[in-house]
A and B are shown apart, each in its own frame.
Chain A
Amino acid sequence: MTLTMGEGDVQMSTLSAGGNHASESTTRGVELKVQEGISKYFFLAAASTSLLVMALIMIFLFREGLAIFGKVNAVSFFFGKAWYPTYDPPEFGILALIVGSVSVTLFSSLVAIPLGVGTALYLSVLAGPTVREYVKAAVELLASLPSVVLGFLGMVVIAPTMQELLDIPTGLNIVSASIVLAIMAIPTITSISEDALYAVPRDNLEASYALGATRWETMSRILVPGALSGIGTAVILGMSRAMGETMVVLMVAGGAAQIPSSLFDSVRPMPASIAAEMGEAPFGGEHYHALFAIGIVLFLMTLVFNLVATYISTRFQQKGASTL
C-alpha cells in the first residue's frame, strides 16, 4: 500500500515538476515504508512480550508444581484432609485449603451479589443525577482501596466486634473474611452490571412504560432480563476476584488448615497458604513444589471462572435493538 502510494507520488511529481522532485518523493516513500515497518514490528514485539511472559509463567508454574506428584500421589494431594507440610513425615492434603477458598468465595458472593447488583440497579433506575454521581464515586473509591487496608479493617474492626457480639473463640473466620472479600468484589460487580443495564435499549424500556408497566415491572421484566448476561459476567468476575485475593484471606480468615464445620470457623484459603508458607519452604523441596501445585489449582479455578464469564457474555447476548 505504502509502496504504491510512493510510486504514485513519483509519477505525479515527474509529470508536474521534473526529476529532482521525483527522487525526493521516492525517498519519502521509502521512509514511510520503513516507518510503517518499524511501528508494526514494535507493536508486534510489545504484544508478543506479554504472550511470552504469560507462556513462561505457565511453564514455570506447571514445571515446579507438577513435580510434587512424583512424591505424593494425586488423590491424597487433592483429597487429603491433612496439611502438615513441615511435619516429619510431611502431609500434603489440600482439601481443607480448597474448601477454605470455596467457602469464603461462595459466602462472600452471597453478600456481594445482592449488594453489587442492587447498587447497579439503584444507580441505573432510581438514583437522581447528583446522588448517582456520588454513589458512583464512592464505589470507584472502594475499588481503589488497597486490599491490605481492607484486611486491616477486617482484623481490627470486624473480627473483634464479631468475636465479642457472638461470643465465639475467634473473629477471624469465614464470615468476617467473606464480608471483607465482598466489599472488594462489590465494585467489580456493580460497575460491570451497571454497564450491562445501561446497554439495554432505552426504546424497550419506553415500550414497556407505554404499555402501562410500572417501574418495578419494567425493571424486572425488561431491564434485568436484557442485562442478564452482563450481570452474570459481573458476578463471576467478582467471584474470581474473591477467589484469587490473597491479602484479605491471609489477614482475616484465621489461617487454620481444617475443614470448617461452621461459618464461624477459621479457614486457610489457598492463596493465604501460599503467601504464608512460601518464604519458609526450602527451595526445590516437596513443600515448595506443593505450594506451586496449589498455585496451579488456583489458576485453573480462576481460569474456569473467567471462561464461564466469557461464555455467558457471548452465549446469552441479546441482539441489539430492532434492526431494519
Chain B
Amino acid sequence: MVATSDIVIEVRDLDFYYGDIKALRGVSLNIKRNQVTALIGPSGCGKSTFLRLLNRMNDLIPGTRVEGQVMFEGQNLYDEDVNPVDIRRRIGMVFQKPNPFPKSIFNNVAYGPRLTGIKDKKKLDELVVRSLKQAAIWEEVKNSLDKSALSLSGGQQQRLCIARALAMAPEVLLMDEPTSALDPIATSRIEELVEVLKKDYTVVIVTHNMQQAARVSDDTAFFYMGEMVEMGNTERLFTKPEKQQTEHYITGRFG
C-alpha cells in the first residue's frame, strides 16, 4: 500500500460517453508519482480515451460527457470551477504522430512558455536549451534552432514534441502511443528517454506494444472493452496476471 502523497492522479468510477456510446465504464485507478504507468489493451479498448481524460483533451470533442472523478493532487479535474487550460499546463501530452508546429525548432519549444507570458529572451533561451537537453535532442539540433521543425526526422520530431511538452514543466506527462509511427531505433531512444524522465516527472504511456510496456513501465493497467480489467506492478502483471482476460491478451490469444 502506497501513502496517499505518492499518488498523483486518483481516478474514481470514471464513465465516459461519446454521444450515446459509453466508451469507458467505471474505471478506477491510481497513478503514482515519479513512476511510469503503462496503459495497454487492444485497439478501441478505451486506453487512449482514458489518457485524454486525464488532461481534459476530450473536452474538445463535442457531444462527450464525463461522470466520476479524476482527482489530481486532491482536486477533481472535472469540478466546474476547474479551467482545462490550467490543467493542460500542468499535465503535458505527447501524441501518437509527431506533430511539431510548422515553425522553427526554437519557436516550437518556446510556444508553451510564451503562452504563460514569458517574453524575456534570456529566460526563453534557457528554457528551450534545458528542455531540448531533457528530451535528448539538444546535440542534434543545437546548431539549427532556427530551422523548420519539419526538416527533422520522425524520431527527432517526436523528441522535439517531448521537449515542447517539457518546456511547460508539467507535473505529469501523458504519452499516447508515442512510438507507433517511429522506426525501432527512434523507438528505443524514446524509451530510454522515458526511463530518464521519470526521475523528474510522472509518466503515463499508452502503448499497444506489450514489450514496450514491459520495458519502460513500473505499473501497467490492462484495458478491455472500455473497462480497466487489471492493474498492478508491471512485472507481476506480465508474469502472474490475476484475470483470465489479461492472461489471454498478454499471451497473444487476442488483440
Contacts and interface: CB of A to CB of B under 8 A. Distances in A.
Contact of A204 (B60, B101, B154): B101
A315 interface: no
Please name the 4 residue pairs, one residue from A and one from B, whose CB atoms are nearest each other, closest first.
A212-B89, A324-B154, A203-B99, A211-B112
B150 A322 contact: yes
Interface in B175-192: 181-182
A208 interface: yes
Interface of B: 55, 57, 60, 62, 85-86, 88-89, 92-93, 95, 97-102, 111-112, 115-116, 148, 150, 153-154, 157, 161, 164-165, 168, 181-182
26 contacts: A128-B62, A129-B62, A203-B95, A206-B57, A206-B95, A207-B95, A207-B99, A207-B100, A208-B111, A209-B57, A210-B55, A210-B92, A210-B93, A211-B92, A211-B111, A211-B115, A211-B164, A211-B165, A212-B115, A214-B85, A321-B99, A322-B98, A322-B154, A324-B153, A324-B154, A324-B181
A207 B57 CA distance: 10
A3 B211 CA distance: 55
Determine which residue in B102, B116, B150, B181 has the highest number of CB atoms from chain A within 10 A of its CB, and name it: B102
Given A201-B99, A322-B100, A206 B115 contact: no
A15 to B, nearest CB: 48
Given A208-B111, A324-B153, A222 B93 contact: no
Contact of B101 (A129, A207, A214): A207
Contacts, number: 77
Nearest to A129: B62
A206 to B, nearest CB: 7
Contacts of B111: 208, 211, 213, 221
Contacts of B92: 210-211
A144 interface: no
A48 B89 CA distance: 59
Contacts of A133: none
Interface string A192-236: 000000000101101111111110010001100010000000000
Which one of A129, A206, A213, A324 has the greatest number of beta carbons of chain B within 10 Å? A324
Q: Give the size range of A's interface with the partner.
A: 20 to 34
A312 to B, nearest CB: 16
Given A211-B168, A321-B97, 11 more contacts: A206-B57, A207-B95, A207-B99, A210-B57, A210-B95, A211-B92, A211-B164, A212-B89, A212-B168, A321-B99, A324-B182
A42 B39 CA distance: 61
Contacts of B93: 210
Contacts of A214: 85
Contacts of A213: 85, 111-112, 115
Given A203-B99, A204-B99, A211 B154 contact: no
A318 interface: yes
A186 B106 CA distance: 37
A222 B101 contact: yes
A71 interface: no
A209 B60 contact: yes
Nearest to A213: B115
Nearest to B89: A212
Contacts of A201: 99
A50 interface: no
Interface in A40-88: none
A22 B57 CA distance: 67
B99 to A, nearest CB: 4
Nearest to A209: B60
Contacts of A16: none
Interface in A265-318: 318
Contacts of B148: 319
A315 to B, nearest CB: 14
B99 A319 contact: no
A4 interface: no
Contact of A203 (B57, B97, B164, B168): B97
